Amino acid sequence: MKPDTHTGNRGLDLAEPLLFELGRPGASGVDLPDAPKVKSHLGGLDRDDIGLPNVSEPEVVRHFVRISRNNYSIDANLYPLGSCTMKHNPRLNEKMARLPGFGDLHPMQPESTVQGALELIHTLGHWLKVLTGMPAVAMPPAAGAHGELCGVMAIRAAHEAKGEKRTRMLIPESAHGTNPATAAQCGFEVDTVPGNARGRMDLSAFKAKLGKDVAGVMLTNPNTLGLFENEVMEVAQAIHSIGGYFYADGANFNAIVGKARPGDLGVDAIHINLHKTFSTPHGGGGPGSGPVAFSAALAPFAPLPMIVQDGDRFRLIEHLGDKGKPGEHSFGRLRSFHGQMGMFVRALAYMMSHGSDGLRQVAEDAVLSANYVLASLKADMSAPFGDTGPCMHEALFDDTFLEGTGITSLDFAKAMIDEGYHPMTVYFPLVVHGALLTEPTETESKASVDKFIGTLRYLARAAKSGTELARFKDAPKLAPRRRLDETAAARNPVLRWTPPAAQAAE
Amino acid sequence: MGTRYFTKDHEWIEVDGDNGTVGVTNYAQEQLGDVVFVDLPAKGKKLTQKGEAAVVESVKAASEVYAPVSGEVIESNAALAANPALVNASAEKDGWFMKLKLTNKDELKGLMDKAAYDKLVASQH
């Protein structure tokens, strides 16, 4: 809704057009000399009207500062999507990543000039192996889903090396959507395993699906409902008994880092989202990074490049090895270059500054915070698995508490915006009706979590009062934009920007 | 007017002679929310019972629609491409998905009638 002002601004909340709508012919932030006259080799394709905006330096600065003010971020307030989207990024990590020796690297520099960088990657890999309790690690994957691809490609390579053609991948119904997508991408047929009444994978249904055509199982632990899969070791034993492999989705490692080692649980491959557990920026910020730890059974198939240590020198293995050499059985290269160097620096800075006791406390405090939210709100909201014991790092609510009010989970989430909170994850996991999945993380103070709990309790009681329907149906009323019509946007998407009709700038 | 059957996955099929018309139930469209896209099988495609037949995408999620019985697709509802909202407005009539030529009519015996389906839906509330 456009405010009733001459400028279209709402006080100091400035309405910002696109950069392309700001341009004025002739405006420029730099003076460039005329290009030298050269013979064109563009075959008549050269043109002057490529449509770049013409703006001065202060216009560019103001444009991006104004946009940044519309951003809700972890630096502004509690962010209930938690490590899943982004937890606090300690500033020390940023300082380390900007050291010239790390920040100014080029991936094609000769090995002899980047020994420190290779040592850092190697050291980070070492600590990932220690924390997962697994003997090998692949650093290249660019994010969590890329790590899944890496792990499942290794599983496929391991079966092929044994001359076996296995076609089915077992995946619980509560899994992240990337798990079945990864399995399908690698040519496996996805076979969904139902959950049980306690929100865990149904072990007997899982065992009933086992057979010689099963390549493996992909299980997230803690799972997407924020619950620990306490039968995980039986799952590992059962999948190994038929010659399959156990892929663990490590998206929720934040809850168990320093407390439980996936290698001890029987896992064969697990990706670790450095941009979740190890605090590197993402969710609109920096790139992700998803190294994969491997068991001894899958280690030979890890992708290239890999780093090996020869005495005090570090060497990159970039090509498939000869017989008996590292990389002999590798499934090959997964991407260009060696991985997300800037994220490696930040993740290692996070590990070193916390130490083993600090990392353990990260997991303990994250779980404590989530259980505090769950226990405080169980009576006013509805927690579908609230009586099955403590949760891990996420507190899950469903929409039973909204039954009969005419208010949906989406309305409830939108009302949180008016209260100054970004909503939590809604409608995921799909197995829970109207899910509201909350992850406060370990870095919020008790006062901050208390204020958040108080807000949700207030809204839950308002929803049930029967007299405040408009508060929810009209929300958000106080945000820069009112509720967007998601349905219209999905049914009639506008995919291409077109210039507005020329308007007077007065 | 043929005989209408239902599945526990919330599909309906109305059988008339050897042919059947398939769609999702009104309860299913309520659970999906606003439908924004429907991916339908091409004419001539052979479907097997409980196999994936179509994909329906709403603002909340993308869900598979399974074939209630085996058969060959003889027509899919072209109106849904232009107007997926038909699934919300008229799930059990104008918002039908596809017409099948049934290949195994015995499979109908395992499906529910309206009374049994209504009972199932009531138990899920």
B32-88 per-position pLDDT tens digit: 999 999 999 999 999 999 999 999 999 888 899 999 999 999 999 999 988 999 999
pLDDT digits (tens, 9 = 90+) for A319-376: 888 888 888 999 999 998 999 999 999 999 999 999 999 999 999 999 999 999 999 9
Q: Which long-range contacts (CB under 8 A, 24 or more apart) does A428-434 make?
A: A428/A224, A429/A174, A429/A224, A429/A225, A429/A396, A430/A173, A430/B61, A431/A173, A431/A174, A431/A195, A431/A225, A432/A225, A432/A384, A432/A396, A432/A398, A433/A398, A433/A399, A433/A400, A434/A398, A434/A399, A434/A402, A434/A408, A434/A409
Residue of chain B whose alpha carbon sits nearest to that of A400: B125
B36, B60, B61 member nearest A491 (Cβ): B36
CB contact under 8 A, A487 and B60: no
Smallest Cα–Cα separation from A263: which of A144, A364, A122, A130? Answer: A130
Q: Which residues of chain A have pLDDT under 50?
A: 504-506
Looking at residue B125, its pLDDT comes to: 62
Q: List the structure tokens of A191.
A: 């076979």
> Which one of B9, B59, B66 would you mutate to disrupt binding with A, by most A Cβ within 10 Å of its Cβ?
B59
Q: What is the mean pLDDT of residues B113-119?
A: 96
Domain B3-123, second-level architecture: Beta Barrel (2.40)
Chain B positions in Cβ-Cβ contact with residue A487 (cut-off 8 Å): 34, 36, 59
Q: List the structure tokens of A306.
A: 């890999």
List the domain boundaries for chain B. 3-123
**Contacts across the A-B interface (CB distance below 8 Å):** 17
A168-172 and A189-193: which strand pairing? parallel
Residue of chain B whose alpha carbon sits nearest to that of A431: B61
Chain B positions in Cβ-Cβ contact with residue A429 (cut-off 8 Å): none
- Ranges of beta strands (E only) in chain B are 3-6, 11-16, 19-24, 35-39, 46-47, 52-58, 62-66, 71-76, 98-102
Please, which residues have CB within 8 angstroms of residue A483's CB and are 6 or more apart in sequence?
A414, A474, A475, A476
**Radius of gyration for chain B, computed over Cα atoms and rounded to the nearest angstrom:** 13
* B36 has a chain A CB within 8 A of its CB: yes
Chain B positions in Cβ-Cβ contact with residue A427 (cut-off 8 Å): 60-61
Chain A positions in Cβ-Cβ contact with residue B85 (cut-off 8 Å): 491
Residue of chain B whose alpha carbon sits nearest to that of A435: B60
* B79 has a chain A CB within 8 A of its CB: no
* B85 has a chain A CB within 8 A of its CB: yes
Determine contact, residues A369/A441, Cβ cutoff 8 Å.
Answer: yes
B37, B59, B85 member nearest A486 (Cβ): B59
Distance from CA of A8 to the nearest CA of B (A): 30
A436-438 and B3-6: which strand pairing? unpaired
B60, B61, B84 member nearest A491 (Cβ): B84
CB contact under 8 A, A490 and B85: no
Q: What is the pTM of this model?
A: 0.88
Question: For A221, which DSSP code?
Answer: S
pLDDT digits (tens, 9 = 90+) for A172-184: 999 999 999 999 9
Residue of chain A whose alpha carbon sits nearest to that of B37: A491
Distance from CA of A487 to the nearest CA of B (A): 6
Whole-angstrom distance, CA of residue A24 vs CA of residue A293: 53
What class is the A92-348 domain?
A: alpha beta
Give me the CATH code for the A355-488 domain, please: 3.90.1150.10
Determine contact, residues B123/B12, Cβ cutoff 8 Å.
Answer: no
Distance from CA of B82 to the nearest CA of A (A): 9
Chain A positions in Cβ-Cβ contact with residue B57 (cut-off 8 Å): 490
Name the interface residues of A facing B (CB cutoff 8 Å). Answer: 427, 430, 486-487, 490-491
CB contact under 8 A, A487 and B59: yes
CB contact under 8 A, B85 and A491: yes
> Which one of A173, A410, A486 would you mutate to disrupt binding with B, by most B Cβ within 10 Å of its Cβ?
A486
* B2 has a chain A CB within 8 A of its CB: no
CB contact under 8 A, A427 and B60: yes
Distance from CA of A409 to the nearest CA of B (A): 11
